[in-house]
Amino acid sequence: MEYTDNPSGSQPAFQQEGLLHRIINRIRRSLELPDILTATVAEIRLFLSTDRVMVYRFEADGSGEVIAESIHDQILPSLLGLHFPATDIPTESRNRLLLERQRVIVDVSSGKIGLSSLQSNDTKEILESENIYYRQVDPCHIQYLTAMGVQSSLVVPILHSEVEGELLKTKLWGLLVSHHSQPREILPAELTLVQQVVDQVAIAIAQSNLYTQSLARQKREETINHVTTLLHKLPKLELQAALEATITALDGIGGRLYIEPTAEIYTYGNQPKMPLELESSIIEQHPVWQKWMDECKQGQIWVTNNLYHEAHLRVLAFAFRLTQIRGMLVMPLQYRQQFIGVLSIFRPEFNTEILWAGRREQHPQQQLPQISFDVWREERNGQAIAWTDNEISLAQALSYSFSIAIQQQQMYQEVQMLNANLEVRVKEKTAELEKSLSFTKVIKQVSEQIRRSLDLKTTLQTIVYEVRSLLNSDRVIIYQKTGESVGEVIVEEINGTWLSTLGITTPDGCLPDESARFLSQGKIKAINNVSAYHLSACHQEFLQSLQIQANLTVPINIGSQLWGLLIVHQCATPRDWQDTEINLIQQLADQAAIAIQQAQLYQQSCAAETEATAKATQLEQALLELQAAQTQLIQTEKMSSLGQLVAGVAHEINNPVNFIYGNLHYASKYTQDLLKIIDLYQLHYPQPHHEISSTAKAIDLEFLSEDLPKMISSMQVGADRIRSIVLSLRNFSRLDEAENKPVDLHEGIDNTLLILQHRLKSSVYFTGIDIIKDYGDLPLIECYAGQINQVFMNILTNAIDALENQGELAQGKSQLSKPQISISTRLSTDRSRVLIRIADNGLGMTEEVRKRIFDPFFTTKSVGKGTGLGLAISYQIIVEKHGGMMDCISELGKGTEFWIEIPIKLLRKFNVEEKQEVEKTLGIDLQ
């Protein structure tokens, strides 16, 4: 409904009644206060035809905020959502607004202010609502309204009454304010209607508060019922779920439930962090916290909006520094004056932004009237939501529910414990009967073991195993006496990771003579607690070094002599030894004595047989060693003879070859000279004598001239080849090198390959073998050259044999690759050793064969083709003579590879060892 713009006159009576009727209907139809206030300011602005009508609500600190507003054509700026400080309305004016319900009308153009009170502050009588008293307005007020662009202002207080205890207390809830940018007179009738509307708004505020309180009570009851249900859920209390529900209901970000009797702690969400160096990480166990709890009265809830402002929490504040926790609510849990625990709820800090109508002066004594109402943003950091009375009341109810539930649970657990104790006693009696039966079975089992076996160690091991299992002890040992006051542990059974005592002997003097006499008389010694028993310092220190807390010692006597001891150790804790346990150990010690006697007789009967067998084995081993040494000596002598033969043949061939090789150069020169003379004769005498022509034709002079230089060149090549072979034979034999000296390993490998060249060539039945060389940059290696060449010869010969055997097996098959041998040499990274790898792509060998490849007399070749000593001697040369390593890598179907690694400089000790080995083998002194 629209009203005519009549700023100086009143609206018709029926329109005033319609306005009031609409406001009342709006209040009745809705309980949402924001909707009611929005409709109210709109209706009043239309009724008064002013530029702005707003509802201003006071905060707890006296400041206020515009929460509803209606403006006309943006003539005046919007103030919705803006805050105004408490100082904008003096305390005296607030009191009159509250106590006298004073309405304020300001006309800026005339400089007058109209005051209309509805109640006398002195007599509390109700006054006429249309009485308006005018006087001059304060200049500061004029400046304030002028800065807002206002020429006419109407302020009506909104009061709200609440029940506090048994009293009804009225407070100033807010203001209904009308602003107009032009001068305007507020008529008494208009003021009366606005007051009636404000009274209805006050009723709406009361209804909204009642509705809100009703919802809060309903939610409170739902929360209490939900938490109570969780706390009484069977068979186990849902304490964690109840804690989470409580934290959610109180708008917390975390919380903790600490139960004092059991030191249980339940947590959810953000938690304080105690430093690691403290004895306990539970804040409720901190002395400051516990002292604070002792001071709390039953049912008293303690709250704070900022825990850093609490003096008694200053010591504990460091635990909250790294968290977002700012506010805290603590509920002590008590049942009938008994402290049960504590329930704590945490609230976070947050940052807020307040929109102020204009920037505010920081120093109140220097304040001037506000001249600007532009929006000014104020940021407030580290704020926390204040705990309300309803939340504290809810916390009290929940703490009572927690107390009852925890107490009931503890009582239930006590009853369960009594029942459990009764069950335990029944089980103990049953266990005693079962243990007695088990003891009987163990004794029977040990007796049968003694009859079945004459192996003493097996029988004694069975005894200690059965004793340890049956008594559930930490260690059981059998100690054999080896002297007058000394002995050692010969059998042991351990449970867990306790120290082993096998082979440990008793220190001299640690076992007193009276103890030995006591045990030799067949008496048992039970120590329940080593630290509390009267022992010598040496004996007690010895037992503690073995981690023994309690022990049970039973003698094992053979006849009247003390043979040893059967000892049970308890290492974890002291132990009270029972009579049934002592009787069992005594009977098993007697069984052990019987087993020992039988074993001694058996050992005596077997001693002669063992001695005879040992002598026969020694003779057989000596024979085998003698045969091996003889065969190796023959092989060494054969290689030495072969070297001498090769060196002699090379020397004998070398002389005529040198004669031929030395004259071939001159023969070639003379031939060229003769052919040149013939060419000159043919040039200067083109028509020779008939006899010369016939002879030249008969000998085919032209062919002879061409072929004779070629023939001499072929002779040169052959002589070079013979010289190379002779040199290789000499280098291979190395008879002129009795001691080790630096040599070129590549030269030795090449000489060996040259000697074996005839086996590498292809034939009718063999495709030949390709040699792939991958030589590294090696220095001269200090070694026994002849022996190293022998190693190369043995390995390459075996590789050729394997590839030839593969060729014979693969005749007529094309799927096999061409045989090849790869030879590579490298220096180690520290340049102190050289690595030689010789690999073939043959058939390889099985793992069983590879493991025995270096054993003497082991061979996979047919009879007459191998002695089985080649690789054994090669291994000895590399490992024992040169201090190197030799290994074989092979897999069936993937070829074989030998690794040889020797030092660049041969150590002197290997020369000494070699000399000693020769002396030992030949039985002579080489000095």
| Complete DSSP assignment for 28-90 | HH---HHHHHHHHHHHHHHHHT-SEEEEEEE-TTS-EEEEEEEESTTSS---TT-EE-GGGS-
User: How many residues are recorded in the chain?
Assistant: 927
> Which residues neighbour 192 within 8 Å (Cβ) at sequence distance 6 or greater?
129, 130
Alpha carbon of residue 340 to chain centroid? 39
Give the chain's residues under pLDDT 50: 1-10, 363-366, 735-737, 909-912, 914-915, 918-919, 921-927
Question: Is 728 in contact with 751 (CB distance < 8 Å)?
Answer: yes
Give the C-alpha separation, 334 to 320, whole Å.
26
Q: Which residues pair with 552 in a beta bridge?
A: 526, 568
Class at the top of the CATH hierarchy for domain 239-358+385-418:
alpha beta
Q: Which residues pair with 328 in a beta bridge?
A: 304, 346
Question: Is 900 in contact with 884 (CB distance < 8 Å)?
Answer: yes
Residue 850: which region, alpha, beta or left (left: phi > 0; alpha: psi -120 to 50)?
alpha
Dig out the tokens for 837 from the structure: 């790898």
Question: Is 66 in contact with 75 (CB distance < 8 Å)?
Answer: no
The whole-number pLDDT of residue 1 equals: 35
CA angle 223, 229, 233 (to 5 degrees): 150
Q: Are strands 83-84 and 770-774 parallel, antiparallel or unpaired?
A: unpaired
Own/partner pairs for 619-622, CB < 8 Å, 24+ apart? none
The whole-number pLDDT of residue 582 equals: 83
Q: What is the DSSP string of 173-213?
A: EEEEEEEESS--PPPHHHHHHHHHHHHHHHHHHHHHHHHHH
The whole-number pLDDT of residue 112 equals: 92
1-45 pLDDT, tens digit per residue, is 333 444 444 455 556 677 778 777 777 777 788 888 998 899 899
Q: Which superfamily, per CATH, for 453-577?
A: GAF domain (3.30.450.40)
The whole-number pLDDT of residue 426 equals: 82
CB atoms within 10 A of CB 467: 26
Own/partner pairs for 18-21, CB < 8 Å, 24+ apart? 19/43, 19/44, 19/47, 19/193, 19/197, 20/193, 20/196, 20/197, 20/200
Dig out the tokens for 475 from the structure: 């260690």
Question: Is 875 in contact with 855 (CB distance < 8 Å)?
Answer: no
Of 175, 174, 103, 108, residue with least CA distance to 147: 108
The whole-number pLDDT of residue 915 equals: 47
The whole-number pLDDT of residue 855 equals: 81
Burial 698-727 (b: 16+ CB within 10 A, else e): eeebeeeeeebeeebeeebeebeebbebbe
Question: Is 283 in contact with 267 (CB distance < 8 Å)?
Answer: no
The whole-number pLDDT of residue 631 equals: 62
Give the C-alpha separation, 557 to 563, whole Å.
5
> Which residues neighbour 740 within 8 Å (Cβ) at sequence distance 6 or greater?
782, 783, 784, 785, 906, 911
Dig out the tokens for 69 from the structure: 């507003």
Own/partner pairs for 82-91, CB < 8 Å, 24+ apart? 82/355, 82/356, 82/357, 82/373, 82/375, 83/59, 83/354, 83/355, 83/356, 83/357, 84/56, 84/356, 84/357, 85/356, 85/360, 86/61, 86/62, 87/364, 87/367, 88/144, 88/370, 89/64
Own/partner pairs for 754-763, CB < 8 Å, 24+ apart? 754/724, 754/725, 754/728, 755/728, 755/729, 755/793, 756/793, 756/796, 756/797, 756/800, 759/800, 759/804, 760/800
Give the C-alpha separation, 702 to 474, whole Å.
110
Question: Is 231 in contact with 242 (CB distance < 8 Å)?
Answer: yes
Question: Is 485 in contact with 516 (CB distance < 8 Å)?
Answer: yes
The whole-number pLDDT of residue 919 equals: 47
DSSP annotation of 126 reads: B
Q: Are strands 896-903 and 885-890 parallel, antiparallel or unpaired?
A: antiparallel
Task: Count CA atoms closer than 13 A to 501's CA, side-chain side.
Answer: 30
Q: Which superfamily, per CATH, for 737-922?
A: Histidine kinase-like ATPase, C-terminal domain (3.30.565.10)
Give the C-alpha separation, 377 to 81, whole Å.
12
Amino acid letter, 560: S
Q: Are strands 338-357 and 254-259 parallel, antiparallel or unpaired?
A: antiparallel
> Which residues neighbour 752 within 8 Å (Cβ) at sequence distance 6 or greater?
732, 789, 792, 793, 796
> Which run of H or of E encompasses 699?
none
Give the C-alpha separation, 294 to 300, whole Å.
12
Amino acid letter, 594: I
The whole-number pLDDT of residue 926 equals: 36
Q: Right CATH number for 13-216 from 3.30.420.10, 3.30.450.40, 3.90.1170.40, 3.40.50.1580?
A: 3.30.450.40
Of 83, 68, 74, 16, residue with least CA distance to 46: 16
Q: What is the DSSP string of 480-543?
A: EE-SSS-EEEEEEEESSSPPP-TT-BPPTTSS-HHHHHHHHTT--EEES-GGGS---HHHHHHH
CA distances to 114, 149, 183, 199, 573 from 177, in Å: 14, 14, 15, 14, 85
The whole-number pLDDT of residue 107 equals: 92
